[in-house]
Amino acid sequence: MSLRPFSRRSFVLGAAGVTGLGVLSACAPGEEAPTDAPAGSPSAVESKDPSQLGDITLVVWDQEVRGSQNDALEALNKAFQDKYPNIKIERKSQSFDDLKAQVSLALSGNDVPDVVQVNNARADMGQFVKAGQLTDLSPYATTYGWEDRFPTSVLSKVRYSADATTFGEGNLYGLPQTGEIVGIFYSQKKLDSLGLKVPTTWDEYFEQLDAALAKGEQPMVLGNVDKWPALHVFGPLQAKYVTPEEIVKLGMGNAGASWTDDANKQAMTQFADWGAKKYFGSSPNGTDYDAAWNDFTKGTGVFLPGGSWLGTDMEAVMGEDLHFIAPPPAVDGKLATTGGTGIPFSIPAKAKNVDAAAAYIDFITTSDAMKLIAENGGFPVLDTAALAPEKGVQKEIFEAFDKVSQEGTLLPYLDYATPSFSDTAGQGLQEVLGGQRSPEDVLGDFEADYKEFTGQ
């Protein structure tokens, strides 16, 4: 096991050293600083008819792999190609995690896709904007009227300042197709058997939870072994104590707010309390996310705080027994909950067919497209109420989304905040839930991460 003969060892080390010197004298990792981002973007571009652009192969990378999403995008791609026979779409589809891991490598290369789905978070879109790797779509927004088509609160999730310091305002770097909302699922039969009512205020919700516990039921279901699911419980709860304006600042990593004020402390203490009193059962941190909602469909727990994306699968088991509500109104009396858009479609700065790509993004986000998405069982980001199915949990989800996005605030996912916040928050919420660290300590970590990023 040892390199006994001394001469061989010195030879290897020597050679390694030579190789090393050669490498170290080579250039630094990465590229030079971005050479002036897409030269002084014009305020509007002339609307070019895609059919006049000549023969084009449009390379699209997406992560719409789940049943209904895949069907919708396939239908849209076909419709686009039928309308513009000169444009051929070359689609490459893979899971969210895989795409996310590849995008950062792909964008820095020279052979980039024309359209790619990029996660809105600062860790992804924010970093790419900062590196000058995404096309500012503002001129196209003017041309195609995207600002009239989309509510401001939805577009704000894809806006960054050109230097990426501000998130929520500034240039436009992508356009979403679908919506998402985090709310509370429940089983009507279960509520009836326990003599509980559907809560309309946070205080009522707390009472129902206590009543459920008193009757020997597990009040809520959470599978948090992956760390991020707790964000979908804490996010909505936070709005009971903290004003939506402050949550938006915190969640988008913009300066001017604090994690350590009293309101946030109350929210985190309440969350810790739920953990300590076993409101999520004996071991939420040891339970798998999918196992948790599966257990819920089989009768474990009374309420399931979770995202709209769970609706279809749970409905398949529970049928009409399953219901969904947006969380009760926030501290200011208006609705507010974690939610937002599906992964937006963006155009890399080095894309070869920018005009065709913009036309494509326009095409897949029109009212007709939204209809097609809904018909295929998806959850369109626009016209949600009108396109809602006639009954079932999907109808309730569509309506809740519409109500919150029109009248209230769709709060950003907390992991949008800073490049490392998904890590910080996931870890901290696990520790609070398991009672390993105090709410104050964890909020201190959140604050440190946020302050370091915003540079306050």
Partner 1 sequence: MSFTARKRREAPSAVVRGRFTPYLYLLPAFLVYAAFLLYPLMRAAQFSLYDWPGFGPSTFVGLGNYVDLLSDRRFLAAISHALILIIFYSILPLVVGLVLAAILRRGKVRGLAFFRVVIFMPQVIALVVVAVAWYQIYAPNGFLNRALSAIGLDELTRGWLGDPNFALPAVGMVGFWLQTGLVMLLLLAGMGRIPNDLYEAARLDGAGPVSEFFAITLPSVKAEITTALVLTIIAALKTFDLVYVTTGGGPGTATTVPSYEVYNRAFNLKEVGSASAVAVVLTVLVFLINVVVSRIGEEKR
Give residues in contact with partner 1 (CB under 8 A): 1-2, 4, 11-12, 15-16, 19-20, 23-24, 28-34, 101, 104-105, 107-108, 123, 127-128, 130-133, 224-227, 281-288, 291, 295, 419-420, 422-423, 426-428, 430-431, 433-434, 436-437
Q: Which is nearer to partner 1, 1 or 39 (by Cβ)?
A: 1
Q: Taking the complex as a whole, how short is the minimal distance between the CB of residue 414 and partner 1, in angstroms? A: 15
DSSP assignment, residue 404? H
Q: Taking the complex as a whole, how short is the minimal distance between the CB of residue 444 and partner 1, in angstroms? A: 12
Q: Is the dihedral of CA 166, 170, 171, 173 positive or negative?
A: positive
Q: Which is nearer to partner 1, 84 or 446 (by Cβ)?
A: 446
Q: Which is nearer to partner 1, 360 or 413 (by Cβ)?
A: 413
Q: Taking the complex as a whole, how short is the minimal distance between the CB of residue 317 and partner 1, in angstroms? A: 17
Q: Taking the complex as a whole, how short is the minimal distance between the CB of residue 114 and partner 1, in angstroms? A: 19
Q: How far apart are CA 423 and CA 436, in angstroms?
A: 17
Q: Taking the complex as a whole, how short is the minimal distance between the CB of residue 110 and partner 1, in angstroms? A: 13
Q: Taking the complex as a whole, how short is the minimal distance between the CB of residue 286 and partner 1, in angstroms? A: 2
Strand 115-117 and strand 56-62: the pairing is: parallel
Q: What is the 3-state secondary structure (H, E, C) of 343-363?
A: CCEECECCCCCHHHHHHHHHH
Q: Which is nearer to partner 1, 389 or 434 (by Cβ)?
A: 434
The torsion angle over the Cα atoms of residues 59, 63, 67 and 70, rounded to 10 degrees, is -20
In the chain, the amino acid numbered 39 is: A
- Helix 421-433 and helix 262-276, axial crossing angle in degrees, nearest 10: 50
Q: Are 338 and 182 in contact (CB under 8 A)?
A: yes
Residues in CB range of 408: below 8 A, 6 or more apart: 244, 329, 330, 334, 335, 336, 337
Q: Taking the complex as a whole, how short is the minimal distance between the CB of residue 449 and partner 1, in angstroms? A: 11
Strand partners, 340: 180
Q: Are 325 and 198 in contact (CB under 8 A)?
A: yes
Q: Which is nearer to partner 1, 192 or 441 (by Cβ)?
A: 441
Q: Which is nearer to partner 1, 30 or 85 (by Cβ)?
A: 30
Q: How far apart are CA 126 and CA 422, in angstroms?
A: 14
Q: Taking the complex as a whole, how short is the minimal distance between the CB of residue 78 and partner 1, in angstroms? A: 34
In the chain, the amino acid numbered 194 is: L
Q: Which is nearer to partner 1, 334 or 437 (by Cβ)?
A: 437
Helix%, strand%, coil% for the chain, nearest 5 = 50, 10, 35
Q: Which is nearer to partner 1, 64 or 431 (by Cβ)?
A: 431
Q: Which is nearer to partner 1, 260 or 294 (by Cβ)?
A: 294
Q: Which helix (H) or strand (E) holds 251?
A: helix 244-251
Q: Taking the complex as a whole, how short is the minimal distance between the CB of residue 431 and partner 1, in angstroms? A: 4
Burial category of 321 from C-beta neighbours within 10 Å (exposed 0-12, middle 13-18, buried 19 and up): middle
3-class secondary-structure state, position 167: strand
Q: Taking the complex as a whole, how short is the minimal distance between the CB of residue 14 and partner 1, in angstroms? A: 11
> Within 13 Å, how many C-alpha atoms sit on residue 141's CB side?
24
Q: Which of 344, 349, 354 is nearest to 62 (CA)?
A: 344
